[in-house]
């Protein structure tokens, strides 16, 4: 089974590339973040023509998540149980589904904006709600993974220059501690480092030629429990999909399972 995660930065803008990538990549399950559309606007019909069912949690703003599957889609959960609100409502940043033999969460962790901002505090509360939500599955016998845009670089090696990020979000001790607490439920990072290159970043800003200069961050992660990690045969960042006109600022992260 091939499972992937991809922040598409607007599924409407990225739809031609998404459909082509699904046709060419052999992906069975794809976790999508930042759909930037409502559930009604989600291109379910086009995806169904390729054999994919979709579970969508989206409201048309700058977030939104989905799980696409061509191996079954059951026991869907929209949103984090008991998740925190921001500005009076729970943002659509999580969706879970069982796809064949594997259960997954697609997550788009809040950005945090800046240290001390209300959104930064919301980010930490959101991480705690995620930890509670996945704890049972993380310690279970069924292959399980939380995939998505975590908006945290786990270590200084996961950013192109740690000095540039001093005092900024994505690298603070509190965010990394929240990430560590999530791992302590029984999850581990199943994408090895280094891969086929020294710094397998997953995100590069559109500005200042960040991608050609490889000024990136590794913030799109796949955290799996022990049965999931044991089944991993290969994993990679599809840097090719970050190239060219109309690309997302994130690259897909792909994991192959031998179940």
pLDDT digits (tens, 9 = 90+) for 89-105: 999 999 999 999 999 99
Is the pTM for the entire model greater than 0.95? Answer: yes
Is 60 exceeded by the pLDDT of residue 80? yes
Phi-psi bin for 17: left (phi > 0), alpha (psi -120 to 50), beta?
Answer: alpha
In tens, the pLDDT along 108-139 reads: 999 999 999 999 999 999 999 999 999 999 99
Kindly report the CATH number assigned to the domain that includes residue 229.
3.60.10.10
Between CA 58 and CA 42 the distance in angstroms is 9
Between CA 201 and CA 191 the distance in angstroms is 11
CA-based R_g, the chain, Å: 17
In tens, the pLDDT along 138-178 reads: 999 999 999 999 999 999 999 999 999 999 999 999 999 99
Is 60 exceeded by the pLDDT of residue 195? no
Assign 192 a pLDDT band (cuts: 50, 70, 90).
confident
Q: What is the pLDDT of residue 9?
A: 98
Mean local confidence (pLDDT), 63-77: 98
Assign 197 a pLDDT band (cuts: 50, 70, 90).
low
Task: Count the neighbouring beta carbons within 10 Å of the beta carbon of residue 91.
Answer: 24
In tens, the pLDDT along 12-48 reads: 999 999 999 999 999 999 999 999 999 999 999 999 9
Domain range for residue 187?
A: 2-257
- Those residues whose C-beta lies under 8 Å from the C-beta of residue 216, and which sit 6 or more positions away, are 159, 160, 199, 201, 202, 203, 204, 210
Count of structural domains within the chain: 1
Q: What is the pLDDT of residue 167?
A: 92
């Amino acid at each position: 089974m091939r499972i992937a995660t991809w922040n598409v930065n607007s599924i409407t803008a990225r739809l031609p590339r998404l459909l082509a990538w699904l046709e060419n990549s052999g992906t069975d399950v794809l976790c999508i973040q930042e759909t930037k559309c409502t559930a009604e606007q989600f291109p379910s019909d086009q995806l169904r023509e390729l054999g994919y069912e979709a579970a969508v949690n989206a409201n048309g703003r700058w977030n939104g998540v989905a799980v696409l599957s061509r191996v079954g889609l059951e026991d869907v959960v929209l949103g984090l149980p008991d998740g925190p609100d921001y500005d009076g409502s729970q943002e659509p940043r999580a969706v879970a589904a069982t796809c064949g033999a594997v259960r997954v969460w697609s997550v788009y962790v809040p950005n945090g904006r800046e240290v001390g901002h209300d959104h930064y505090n919301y980010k930490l509360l959101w991480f705690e709600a995620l930890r509670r939500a996945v704890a049972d599955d993380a310690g279970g016998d069924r292959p399980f993974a939380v995939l998505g845009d975590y908006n945290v670089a786990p270590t200084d090696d996961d950013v192109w220059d740690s000095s540039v990020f001093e005092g900024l979000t994505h690298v603070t001790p509190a965010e990394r501690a929240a990430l560590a607490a999530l791992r302590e439920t029984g999850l581990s990072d199943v994408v090895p480092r280094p891969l086929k290159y020294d710094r397998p970043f997953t995100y590069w800003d559109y500005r200042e030629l960040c991608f050609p200069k490889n000024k990136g961050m590794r913030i799109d992660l796949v955290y799996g429990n022990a049965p999931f990690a044991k089944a991993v045969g290969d994993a990679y960042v599809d840097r090719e999909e970050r190239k060219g006109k109309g690309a997302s600022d994130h690259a897909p992260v792909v994991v192959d399972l031998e179940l």
